Structure 1
Amino acid sequence: MTVWLSAWLSGATGLDHVLDALEPWGEAHDVLTADEPTATATGLPGPTDRPTSVTFLLAALRRMGGQQTRTPARLVLTAPGDIRGLPGPGQFSRAAIDAGEGVLLADLGYGMVPAALSDRLVRWTVHPVAGLVPGEEHTPLREAEHALREQVRRSAAILASLGVARHRPGVREEIADSLRSRPRSLWPDGMPPGSLRVLQNADELSAILTAASVDEPGGALSASAASARGEALRPLATAVRVARRAAVAEAVRAFAGSAGRH
């Protein structure tokens, strides 16, 4: 959503392409606002109203001047102890922390948080963002990619010393299945190749993290080993989040810079 919203606001893609790209993540996407003042300001349904569609969300953002935003959208990925990229306390920050993700529209003063209500339906809730929003933490893409590789090396060494998954056959198949089950990501024309590469690497490492976090049959891993495993995987999970944010931010900057050339 962050990338496609930025591409659409910059004029780099059409509405139908945005809707097609969201479909693998949910056959239907609807939109509500978190409170009545936000509903009044945006023209979108309030929390007790009938939800509207992403089409009306995009129209509302453009109507509010989204086409002239300096940074159309910012990806927010949070985890316990890692709330980088969030504005100060408020509705959006609380919702993004609970969900672990969100899209921040800093220049407009709003943020959106998705929730999977069923296998078919994803709901986007628009929250107000009060006060000043700190500038986005800029991590160069190459730096994020290097950190990702370094954390893989360190984590692999620690996990090997712990014997994680040594006695669990089929781990490679689990990782492959996890990647196959992930919805297919579609990207706008003009997506930077470096962003695509880093996002693909992050997806693969996320699948490895999931497989490495699974306990062996019979609970063979001791409590101390399980704790050491968690400590080994935590920096890698952080590196995956940082890499995804950096890759998306690079794409957003590319599309924002192309505004007016389409």
Structure 2
Amino acid sequence: MTSPSATLTVWARSWLVGKSAPDHVIDAMHGWAPMHLVCAENEETAGLTGLPWPDPRDVGVAALLPPIRRAAADPEPHLRLVLPGPGDVRGLPAGTEFAAAALRAGEGILAGAPGGPGLGLIPSTEGPDVLRWTVYAIDHIPLDLHHIGLGEAEYGMREAVRDAAKALETLELLDTASGNDPRALVADALARSSRHRYPAEMPARALRILDSADRVAAILGVAEKSAPDRTVSATGAATVEDLLRPLWSVVRSARGAAINATAEA
């Protein structure tokens, strides 16, 4: 699992359809932090959800479950992971505070049926053992017009694994001073992501896609760190960005497809 939003999306959905208990959701989220602070975006959202405002409180992930149920169950659960990035705002409700916060965080959750009102949830790290959730009221949940299927996501990941390895090789060839073994760095990144569990009902194909996306993301992360100091120049930085940005976009698309296909199943 690669983000708190992804974890909460799949486990909350599993709970909503009766496959998991609330304790399972809480245990899964504790893999990210033992303390979860919760806060509504504003006074109106606090009145709507019953969540604390204006200051976050240590009420735990359990406090998020009732508002998620009210927003997402209609009658089938509607939960969607969003993973925006620079120049990539697919799936966000335009012009909202939630959209701006999701872009800053690089992640978020939409709870509610498309076309109707709902909630948005954004996590942010408050410290090494503290995660803060801010909940936003959204007037209109947008349609996911950029959704891709699992077949397209799996094909994209096969291509991305190859292209990411080439990118890493290119940057390593430039970096003659590095003494780090990129394979060991990739393995370490994969070990960190593998600590987080998925619900038992996750489709095998979705798990394969997520595993591939984790591998590509680990390679890209190592590639960014392996870029030589001289690429800080405008030309060098542009070269690194040109190599990696399209691959990060493919990773986000594949992760979103795998998580959301599971949430919609």
Into which bin does the TM-score normalised by the smaller protein fall? 0.7 to 0.9
Task: Determine the structure 2 residue equivalent to 1:109.
Answer: 118
Task: Determine the structure 1 residue equivalent to 2:3.
Answer: none
One-letter identity of the residue aligned with 1:68:
D
Q: Where in structure 1 are there 5+ consecutive unaligned residues? A: 255-262
Q: Following superposition of structure 1 onto structure 2, how do residues 92-171 of structure 1 map, counting pairs within 5 Å? A: 92-107=98-113, 108-131=117-140, 133-157=142-166, 160=169, 163-165=173-175, 168-169=178-179, 170-171=181-182
- 1:10–1:222: structure 2 CA closer, same or farther, 3 Å change rule? closer
Task: Determine the structure 2 residue equivalent to 1:260.
Answer: none
Q: CA-to-partner distance for each residue in 1:79-128, whole Å, 9 max, x for gaps?
A: 11000011121121111111111001133511000011111111111001
Q: Following superposition of structure 1 onto structure 2, how do residues 50-61 of structure 1 map, counting pairs within 5 Å? A: 50-61=57-68
Is 1:181 aligned to 2:187, yes or no? no
**d(CA) in 1 for partners of 2:232, 2:64:** 50
Number of positions where the alignment pairs a residue of Structure 1 with one of Structure 2: 252
**d(CA) in 1 for partners of 2:207, 2:135:** 27
Q: CA RMSD in A?
A: 2.3
Task: Determine the structure 2 residue equivalent to 1:84.
Answer: 90
* Secondary structure, aligned partner of 1:213: helix
Q: Where in structure 2 are there 5+ consecutive unaligned residues? A: 1-7
**d(CA) in 2 for partners of 1:24, 1:32:** 20
Is 1:233 aligned to 2:244, yes or no? yes
**d(CA) in 1 for partners of 2:159, 2:147:** 19
Per the TM alignment, residue 181 of structure 1 is displaced from its structure 2 partner at its CA by 3.1
Per the TM alignment, residue 52 of structure 1 is displaced from its structure 2 partner at its CA by 2.3
Is 1:243 aligned to 2:254, yes or no? yes
What TM-score, normalized to structure 1? 0.87
Task: Determine the structure 1 residue equivalent to 2:49.
Answer: 42
What TM-score, normalized to structure 2? 0.86
- 1:167–1:190: structure 2 CA closer, same or farther, 3 Å change rule? same
**d(CA) in 2 for partners of 1:155, 1:209:** 6
Of 199, 203, 206, the residue aligned with 1:192 is 203
Q: CA-to-partner distance for each residue in 1:163-196, whole Å, 9 max, x for gaps?
A: 2456634111111122223361211121111111
Q: CA-to-partner distance for each residue in 1:119-167, whole Å, 9 max, x for gaps?
A: 1111111001123522353211121121122233345445545624566
- 1:160–1:175: structure 2 CA closer, same or farther, 3 Å change rule? closer
* Secondary structure, aligned partner of 1:89: coil
**d(CA) in 1 for partners of 2:232, 2:61:** 48
